[in-house]
């Protein structure tokens, strides 16, 4: 089963306003420049050049938001995060057909290999600003349609088939990136997240006691067992 989480309000209102200002005159380019061979055949959108001022500022903003998000850490257990891209759908460049992301991405100045355990999208404008543009994750009866408010993030398995449906009005703006997790297996990572949430709930109701301490020890022992060195 596909791992799928949502994180509301990853980006704050002022951050979204700053991003909108930077995107007002940003230099968009063909989005196929970052796609692999199969994905490039179905990708039809635009994205910011990685070295432009707007892309750098938005990338830094999103990375700061991830650093302060305890929900993101609990869900992803990130080991490394691929530097975020910014994309746009609308007009003639309005969709991305069904595809699976490359298993390995080269990140950084020296092309360090990063395994794409998780994929992420952060929505930069609200759903009423455009028609279409849903992120479809999975296939058949298991398919999920995601279209979130500005500032919200969806996090899902990197091995999922996914697509963005055609935008028929307005523009869809988003940030996308990948995460290499300390815990490679989706099921193990999900179990750790569930256990983490249960411990937090227990502590909020009863404070720290012998049970919460024991469960916290179990969480960390499982993390030691499953985390990559």
- What are the structural domains of the chain? 4-181 (2.60.120.620), 186-226 (4.10.860)
- The string of pLDDT tens digits covering residues 117-144 is 999 999 999 999 999 999 999 999 889 9
CA distance 125 to 112: 32
- HSE at residue 203, side-chain half, CA atoms within 13 A, is 12
Q: Give the closest residue to 174 by CA, choosing from 134, 136, 138.
A: 134
CA distance 53 to 19: 11
CB atoms within 10 A of CB 164: 27
Q: Give the closest residue to 165 by CA, choosing from 199, 191, 137, 133.
A: 133
pLDDT band at 110 (very low <50, low <70, confident <90, very high): low
**Predicted local distance difference test score (pLDDT) of residue 112:** 87
Whether 108 has a pLDDT exceeding 80, the answer reads: no
**Predicted local distance difference test score (pLDDT) of residue 1:** 46
Whether 22 has a pLDDT exceeding 90, the answer reads: yes
Residue range 163-169: mean pLDDT, rounded: 98
Q: For 22-84, list the strands marked E by DSSP.
A: 29-30, 43-44, 46-47, 78-81
Task: Give the tokens for residue 1.
Answer: 């089963």
* CB burial string 107-133: b at 16+ within 10 A, e below: beeeeeebbbbbbbbbbbbeeebbebb
Of 77 and 228, more confident: 77
Whether 147 has a pLDDT exceeding 70, the answer reads: yes
Burial of residue 221, with CB atoms counted within 10 A of its CB: 0-12 exposed, 13-18 middle, 19 or more buried: exposed
pTM: 0.94
SS3 of 56, please? helix
């Amino acid at each position: 089963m596909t791992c799928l989480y949502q994180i509301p309000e990853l980006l704050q209102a002022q951050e979204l306003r700053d991003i909108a200002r930077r995107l007002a005159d940003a230099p968009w380019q063909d989005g196929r420049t970052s796609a692999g061979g199969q994905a490039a055949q179905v990708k039809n959108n635009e994205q910011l050049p990685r070295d432009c001022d707007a892309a750098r500022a938005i990338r830094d903003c999103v990375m700061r938001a991830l650093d302060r998000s305890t929900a993101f850490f609990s869900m992803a257990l990130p080991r490394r995060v691929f530097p975020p891209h910014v994309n746009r759908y609308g007009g003639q460049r309005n969709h991305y057909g069904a595809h699976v992301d490359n298993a390995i991405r080269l990140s950084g100045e020296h092309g360090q290999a990063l395994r794409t355990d998780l994929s992420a999208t952060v929505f930069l404008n609200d759903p009423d600003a455009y028609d279409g543009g849903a992120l479809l994750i999975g296939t058949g009866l298991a398919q999920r349609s995601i279209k979130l408010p500005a500032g919200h993030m969806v996090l899902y398995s990197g091995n999922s088939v996914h697509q963005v449906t055609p935008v028929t009005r307005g523009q869809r703006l988003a940030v996308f990136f990948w995460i290499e997790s300390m815990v490679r297996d989706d099921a193990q990572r999900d179990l750790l997240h569930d256990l983490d949430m249960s411990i937090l709930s227990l502590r909020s109701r009863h404070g720290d006691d012998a049970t919460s301490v024991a469960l916290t020890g179990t969480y960390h022992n499982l993390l030691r067992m499953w985390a990559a060195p």
